[in-house]
Amino acid sequence: MKIEDILKDKGLRITKQRKLILETISKEENPISAEEIYEIIKDKIKLDLSTIYRNLNTLEEAEILLKTTNVDSISYYQLNNDEHKHFITCTSCKKRFVIENCPVHLLEENIEKETGFLINGHNFEFTGICPDCQKKNKKKVY
Site of interaction with Zn ion (CB under 5 A): 90, 92-93, 102, 130, 133
| Least distance between Zn ion and beta carbon 120 (Å) | 12
What element of type H or E holds 127?
strand 126-128
CB-based contacts of 123, cutoff 8 Å, min separation 6: 66, 67, 68, 69
What are 98's strand-pairing partners?
87
Q: Which is nearer to Zn ion, 8 or 105 (CB)?
A: 105
The closest of 114, 96, 109, 129 to 30, measured between CA atoms, is 96
The DSSP annotation for 56-74 comes to HHHHHHTTSEEEEE-TTS-
Q: Which is nearer to Zn ion, 32 or 130 (CB)?
A: 130
Q: Which is nearer to Zn ion, 6 or 90 (CB)?
A: 90
Q: Which is nearer to Zn ion, 93 or 119 (CB)?
A: 93
| Least distance between Zn ion and beta carbon 60 (Å) | 15
Cα separation, 105 vs 122, in Å, equals 10
| Least distance between Zn ion and beta carbon 39 (Å) | 25
| Least distance between Zn ion and beta carbon 103 (Å) | 7
